[in-house]
Amino acid sequence: MNRDETGRFIVKSFKTGKTYFVEAIDGDEKTFWGDYDPATKKFQGSYGLKYKGSIRPEESLITKENGFDKIHYLGTDESPLDYINRIDDEYYSKMQK
């Protein structure tokens, strides 16, 4: 998955047995970084294309076409691990009934 480059990772819950797939989606060009050339107003080098920790929306593997039926989108200030813990607790509560 190469988490450093893509921001993709998998979380397996020991409590419910569910597996959660996470992708950091980047829709903002500002995440590209490197040597900025003020004359051309562009970044030089390939620093921003590697190890940026996210993918573009069109690169996402988490799609209905790939069999994912419950897709959640979080804001930039929300922790995916905290969100996973909350919904996993809900699943666990339902399993106990």
Per the structure block, which two tokens stand in for 36? 């900025």
Predicted local distance difference test score (pLDDT) of residue 90: 96
Strands (E), 1-97: 9-12, 19-22, 35-37, 42-44
Predicted local distance difference test score (pLDDT) of residue 89: 97
Locate tokens 């996973």: which residue? 84
Is there a contact between 23 and 62 (Cβ–Cβ < 8 Å)? Answer: yes
Lowest mean pLDDT, pick from 14-18, 35-39, 79-83: 35-39
pLDDT band at 26 (very low <50, low <70, confident <90, very high): confident
pLDDT tens, position by position, 36-70: 778 887 766 655 556 677 888 898 999 999 999 99
Predicted local distance difference test score (pLDDT) of residue 64: 96
Predicted local distance difference test score (pLDDT) of residue 38: 83
Look at residues 71, 86, 87, 90 and name the one whose alpha carbon lies nearest to residue 25.
Answer: 71
What is the rounded distance in angstroms from the CA atom of residue 78 to the CA atom of residue 81? 9
